[in-house]
Amino acid sequence: MADQIDAKDQRYPFELPLLEYDFDALAPVIDAKTMELHHDKHHQAYVDNLNKAIVEHKDLQEKTLSELLSDLDNVPEAARGAVRNNGGGHINHSMFWKLMKSGGGKPSGAISDAINRDFGSFDDFKTKFNEAGVKQFGSGWVFVYADGDALKIQSMPNQDTPLHKGVEPIFGNDVWEHAYYLTYNNRRPDYLKAWWDVVDWDAIAGRYEQLRGK
């Protein structure tokens, strides 16, 4: 929904964003049951547990999610782990849903130029990204972010985000088993390869432009 506040700018109480497409829109790359569980159960749980974690912390309720995650040192220790995990879960998944659409596409414009400049070709870029996803031990994400002008690929564990270092990711893929297990079972490399077929490059180009403007 256009009038819903983006997760990074939300303050307590945090809210689950509505999916802008049907659960089966990304099938067969991501099956409908996985989408339903992933959005309605997993993401909802991150939102609920984030709200619970700061229900007693009035000072933290003043901060946006982006402010909380980029300044964890100033979150009291009793709430820090829960904010890191569930706040990260909320911001990562809120980004993730918007990076995908039925039919996908190909990069174009400035983001395509940057990929070719920094990785040689789109195919080489995808290979490096997929390798980072395969190598991430256990649960986590693979992110692309800008380091100055240069694009970087970085895998991170659990629900961590480059925001912990003050850097907003351009995009990322979820490599938790819950993201792919029903269709791909243990075959994470197959999921990583197939995922590119539902990536919305217009959405990524929009994020890239917005982040470059900062």
Q: Which residues bind Mn ion (CB under 5 A)?
A: 174, 176
- CA 188 to CA 53: how far, in whole Å? 32
By beta-carbon proximity to Mn ion, the closer residue of 89 and 107 is 89
- CA 26 to CA 149: how far, in whole Å? 32
What's the closest the beta carbon of residue 210 comes to Mn ion, in angstroms?
Answer: 23
- Cβ-closest residue to Mn ion? 174
Distance of CA 17 to the CA centre of its chain: 13
By beta-carbon proximity to Mn ion, the closer residue of 107 and 140 is 140
By beta-carbon proximity to Mn ion, the closer residue of 176 and 184 is 176
As a whole number of Å, the CA-based R_g of the chain is 17
- CA 214 to CA 207: how far, in whole Å? 11
What's the closest the beta carbon of residue 89 comes to Mn ion, in angstroms?
Answer: 7
Distances (CA, A) of 150 to 118, 154, 201, 208: 7, 13, 18, 12
145 in Cβ contact with 171 (< 8 Å): no
What's the closest the beta carbon of residue 142 comes to Mn ion, in angstroms?
Answer: 12
By beta-carbon proximity to Mn ion, the closer residue of 102 and 139 is 139
By beta-carbon proximity to Mn ion, the closer residue of 160 and 174 is 174
For residues 96, 37, 28, 144, the Cα torsion angle rounded to the nearest 10 degrees is 20
What's the closest the beta carbon of residue 88 comes to Mn ion, in angstroms?
Answer: 10
What's the closest the beta carbon of residue 91 comes to Mn ion, in angstroms?
Answer: 12
